[in-house]
Each structure stands twice: as C-alpha cells, then as structure tokens.
Amino acid sequence: MKALWLLPCLGAVLQAHMVSMSSGELRVTGNRATFELRMPLYEIEHVRDPESALFSQLRFSSAGVEGRLLEKSCREDRDDGAYRCKASYEWPGPVEEVNAYAAFHKVTVPNHVHLMHAFRDDKSDQLVFDFTNAEQLIRFRPPTAFEVWTTSMASGFGRVFSSAASVLFLGCLVIAARSRRELLLLTVAFLCGELLTALIVPHTPWSPAPKFVDAALALTVAYLAVEILMLPEAGQRWLVAGALGSFHGLAFAVYLVGTGYEAAPVLMGMALADLLALGVFAVALGKLRGWFPAMAPVALRITASLLLVTGLAWFYLQLR
C-alpha cells in the first residue's frame, strides 16, 4: 500500500495553479511583425528576471528563417495586475506563414495555457499553446471543423493530467469509495457536477478569479480527505462528490471562456481523462488491497491524512 502514499507527493512535484493563462497578439505586416504579451503578475512572482525568462521560451520563424528580434521591452502594469511585454521581429522577405514556439509553461507552471491571436492583412488565426502543443504553424486562415474539434478535445484531456488538484482529487475519490458500486455512483455524481458547472457558469455574469478557483480546488481535496477520516461510514457520499465536482467544473468554465473553445469537445476530453485516471487508480488500489490486505485500512487512513495536510497547505498558499 506504500504506493498510495505517492499521491500527495504530486502536490509538491506539480505547481498549484489549475487555471494558468496568458494572452498574446501577433501582427504581421510585410516582412515585420510585432508581438504583445499579457502575463498575469501572479504567474511570474517566482521568476527571476522574467523578461529574459519569457523571451527565452518565445520564437517566431518563417520559411525556415527565425525572425530577427529588433527590440523588446517589458513592464509591470499594477492596475491591470499584469506583466506586459512588446517585441518586434524582422525577416529577409514578406511573411506568409509563421511557425510559433511559445513554451511559457516552462517558466510559469506546467499547465500554463497561452492564447495567441495572429493577424496578417485581413486574415487572422487563433492558437492555444500549452505543454502538449508548444510549437504550431500559423497559417492565417480559419481552422477546419475537424482541426478545431480534435485540438479542443485534446486540450480538455490534457488539462486534467496537467493539474495536481485534479489528479489528487481523483485519487482521493477512489479511496473514498467503499465498493465498486459506490465508486460508480461517485464517478457519475462527480462528472455531473463538473459538467454542469462548466456548461452553466460561462453563460452567467460571474467570472471566478483564478486564485479563487485554485483555492477552492485545494479545499475539495482536504474536504474529501476529512470525509474519509472522520465519517468512514457516512451515507450518500455521492452527493458530496457531486458538490465537489462543481468546483472542479469552475476551472474548465474559466478555461472555456479564456480560450473560446467549443464546450462539447473540451468537456468530452475532460470526461475521458477523468474516467481513465479513475480507472487506473481503481485498478492499482484493488491490486494493492489484494497483495496487502492486512495493511490496507491503515495505509488508506495514512494516505487520507497526507491528502488532508496537502489540501490545507495548498489552500493556505493560495490565500497568500
């Protein structure tokens, strides 16, 4: 059962932000281009020399030639809570397509998402960069329906595994289930809560702040751990799973609003990732219970205790 103790360690390995986004605008005119970046200040609080760090993970090339950086500058905009950068690039000839590399997740947090709008004459394009897709070709044409669907679905799938909060909570959900039937009920309730919130919130005036969402997700891990430790025989635990799932849906609601992706493929990818993670955790837990039946109850309580400490510590860090 020692393998279960690795679950809380994910909180230390991965960064705490579930919602981590920045935006940029690339404008191409002839053989030149300008790029403007808006990065939330809280994303780079831990970064030494953020200007150099950010530009080390940003490159543009065309026809195999990397754009020559003519100038760059960055400044803090405290009123907007943002770190803003501007740069200009030049190529030997007119630019038709641009190969963009934006790996800001290497500087900020592993699950960071960068939304880039690109313009050339009267044509435009929009791309989303994250740890699964740091380099993309800007064709300055609207993507096909198939491209949009597959990209959106892959992004939803990847968001689940890029978040320590999601992974920890799904592991905690498996530990909370006292039977296969209860695990099925908890899974259905959690997915329903997550999907409903992700679908409804974008259509309301409420726009939850990323730090609020991160803090709420930390509390979901801690609360479910308390449920396991203090109320081992509590009934209707599926109601708790549904309520906590709604908080996880907030992260995807913010993501959908920020990226402009269609909800259906993103949430389908999210649901598939949730089911895959729950299945892997359930199989692993079943194997461990079979191998070490005598140690199972104690190991589960120790794991739940560590999850509780991790969730509360995480929540405290978000409040700071």
What are phi and psi for residue 254, nearest 5 degrees? -65, -40
Rounded distance between C-alpha atoms, residue 186 and residue 91, angstroms: 56
Q: Quick check: helix, strand or coil at residue 26? A: strand
**Residue 280 pairs with which residues in a beta bridge?**
none
pLDDT at residue 12 in the model: 40
pLDDT at residue 15 in the model: 45
Whole-structure pTM value: 0.77
Instruction: Answer yes or no: are the C-beta atoms of 277 and 167 closer than 8 Å.
Output: yes
Rounded distance between C-alpha atoms, residue 27 and residue 70, angstroms: 15
Kindly write down the DSSP assignment for every residue of 236-258, as one continuous string: -HHHHHHHHHHHHHHHHHHHHHH
Instruction: Answer yes or no: are the C-beta atoms of 113 and 131 closer than 8 Å.
Output: no
Q: Quick check: helix, strand or coil at residue 210? A: helix
Distance of CA 34 to the CA centre of its chain: 28
Are β-strands 98-102 and 82-90 bridged in parallel, bridged antiparallel, or unpaired?
unpaired
pLDDT at residue 19 in the model: 65
pLDDT at residue 155 in the model: 87
**pLDDT per residue as tens, the chain (320 positions):** 444 444 444 444 344 455 678 999 999 999 999 999 999 998 898 899 999 999 999 999 999 999 999 999 999 999 888 999 999 999 999 999 999 999 999 999 888 899 999 999 888 888 889 888 899 999 988 778 898 899 899 989 988 987 788 899 999 999 999 899 999 999 999 999 999 999 999 999 988 887 788 888 889 999 999 998 988 888 889 999 999 999 999 999 989 988 888 999 999 999 999 999 999 999 988 888 777 777 777 877 888 888 888 888 877 777 76
Rounded to the nearest 10°, the torsion over CA 298, 299, 301, 304 is: 180
Residue 203 C-beta-side C-alpha neighbours within 13 Å: 7
pLDDT at residue 175 in the model: 92
User: Burial code of 183-216, b = ≥16 C-beta within 10 A, e = fewer?
Assistant: bebbbebbbbbbbebbbebbeeeeebebbebbbb
Which helix (H) or strand (E) is 29 found in, with range? Answer: strand 21-29
